[in-house]
Each structure stands twice: as C-alpha cells, then as structure tokens.
Structure 1
Amino acid sequence: MSLAERTREAVRANPFLYEALRAGVVNYTAAARFLDLGVDDQEAVVAALRRYAEDLPEYDATGRDARVNMESGVGVAEDADQADALLTVGETRLVSGGGSLTAILAGGDVDARSLGHVLTHLGAEGIDVEAAGTASDALTVVVSRRAGPDALRAVEAALETVPDRS
C-alpha cells in the first residue's frame, strides 16, 4: 500500500481529522505526527495530507431546518406499547411519564448525519447521552434531567451547523 493510500486510510479512521481537512483548519505537520504512520519522512505524510485535502469536498455547514423541544420525565417502561415510546432500542422503550431522564426531540430536516453532529456537540459540552436515535424526520437524544436545558441549547446549536451531505 502506498503512503498516500495509508494516509487516506488513517484519516478516514479519524473522522474529526477528515472534517478538519474538509474545513481547511489543519496544521498538516501536527496531523502527520498524530497519524504516526511509522515513516521517517514526515514531510511525505504532510504532502499526502495536502493532496488528500485538495480532493475532498469543501466543508459547508448550512445547518438544518428543525424544530427542537424538550420533554422531561422520561423513563424506561418494560410494558409500554411501541406506539407510546419516544425512542425504542432493542427491547428497551423510553416513554414519557415518571422517569428521571429528559428527551430532546427534533423534527424536520434531520438524519443520521445530524445525529452524529449532535452527539459530537454534546460530547464537547460534556453532556452524557443515555440514548439516541433518528428515523425519518425525527431525532431523539435522551440525557439526565439535570442536563436537559444545556442539551437543548447544544442540540439547537448543532443543528444550525450540520455539515453538508458531501
């Protein structure tokens, strides 16, 4: 495998670096050191990173048109009907009423890329996510009750800056 191929593979294994290359905000020398491809000539890795960045689609964070709201009192219900669940993962159903969690619900132009971006934002804010999912035009993130208001703001901010679908 060529150095260029190894470099591209290493970048794809680190999605944050891929997005940073698209956005044009990378210190190539630092990125080459981070990737640590085991070559003596770091300048060759730098050159491979530059060439790869030139081939990537430009980063365009246009955001998404979505309504975001918060619902407190969410919990796990073993006997809940599927239709009553805010979010179902496997056999676990999260429903309104009586729980100690908060759901952040977004509807509109949302998809899996939106969810990934939202989770990255929440992680950067130090907000732990209990559960998350997306389907059709809905996105749900479940956090502790105490984290609800901060999570709401983080989700709103994240949806304003979701990268394009390139």
Structure 2
Amino acid sequence: MSLAAETRRAAREHPFLVSALRAGVVNYTAAARFLDVGDAEAVATALRRYAEELPDYEPGPRKARITMESGVGPADEAEPLLSVGGTALAAGGGDRTAVLATGDVDSAALRTVLATLAVEDVAVHAAGVGGDALAVVVDRRAGSNALRTVESALESVP
C-alpha cells in the first residue's frame, strides 16, 4: 500500500479529521504526527492532496420543529417516542426527557446533534432518526440545555 493510500485509510479511521480536512482547518504536520503512518512531511503532503479531493464542508440550517417531552421511560403499551430492538421509550412516568425534532432531519443531522451534545457534556441515553423524526433522550434535568443544543446543532448540519 502506498503512503498516500495508507494516509487516507488512517484519516478515514478518524472521522473528525476528515471533517476538519473538508473544512480546511487542519495543521497538516500535527495531523501527520497524530496519524503516525510514516515520515511526517510526506504524510502532511498526502493529507493536503487528500483534502483537495474531498467535498467542501458546507454546513447549513435544517428546518425542523423541536419539542421536548418529559417523563420518558420504558414503555410496554404506549406509543413509543423511540424504539430500538426490543426497547421502547415513551412519555408517561419515566425519569428522562426526550427532545424531538420533526422536519428536515436525517442521519447527518443526528450525527451533528450527538456531537454537539457531547461537546456540551450532555449525556444521551438513547437516540435515533427515522423518516422525518429525530429523538434524543437525556436526563430530565438536562432537558432544557439539550433542547437549546439541538436547536443550535440543526443550524449547522453539513
């Protein structure tokens, strides 16, 4: 495998680095040292070339209605807000809060929401997207902060 191919493979193992390359905000030498796949100068050159081939990072707003549902917990019979495998979560007596976004949402929106919540140190207990709905479930006390964070995140989805 060529150094250029090895560099691209190593970069793809770190999605944050590929996003930074797309956005044009990378110190190539520092990134080359981080990847540690060969001579730093040669790897930095390979990263520059790789960045030129990537699509530009073009974030934009998503139109979505955002609401908050308190008292979310496991559900047997209620209509779930979020269901994965055999676990369903619905409003009605639980100790969590769900932030729901309906409209122009998809997996890219969910990825951005989760990354932004992580930066804000908001623990997410469950999350999903399907059709035109996105849901994240957080601790009850984190609900208001999560709502503001989701609103903000949906303003800059790449």
**How would you bin the TM-score normalised by the shorter chain?**
over 0.9
Q: Secondary structure at the match of 2:73?
A: strand
* Uncovered stretches (5+) of structure 1, i.e. residues with no partner: none
From 54, 57, 62, the equivalent of 2:55 is 57
Work out the CA distance in 2 between the residues paired with 1:161 and 1:64. Answer: 8
Report 1:38-117 matches (<5 A).
39=38, 41-77=39-75, 79-81=76-78, 84-117=79-112
Work out the CA distance in 1 between the residues paired with 2:20 and 2:88. Answer: 36
1:125 corresponds to which residue? 120
Does the Cα contact within 8 Å between 1:80 and 1:95 map onto a contact in 2?
no
Q: Percent identity?
A: 63
Does the Cα contact within 8 Å between 1:80 and 1:93 map onto a contact in 2?
no
Q: What's the CA shift for 1:130?
A: 0.4
Does the Cα contact within 8 Å between 1:101 and 1:142 map onto a contact in 2?
yes
Q: Secondary structure at the match of 2:99?
A: strand
Q: Secondary structure at the match of 2:101?
A: strand
* Uncovered stretches (5+) of structure 2, i.e. residues with no partner: none
Q: TM-score, normalised by structure 2?
A: 0.98
Q: TM-score, normalised by structure 1?
A: 0.93
CA RMSD of aligned residues (A): 0.8
**Are 1:161 and 2:149 an aligned pair?**
no
Q: Describe the superposition over 1:94-151 as per-residue Cα deviations: whole angstroms up to 9, x where unpaired.
A: 0111110000000000001110110000111111100000000000000000110111
Runs of 4+ in structure 1 deviating by more than 3 angstroms, as ranges, are none
Q: What's the CA shift for 1:68?
A: 0.8
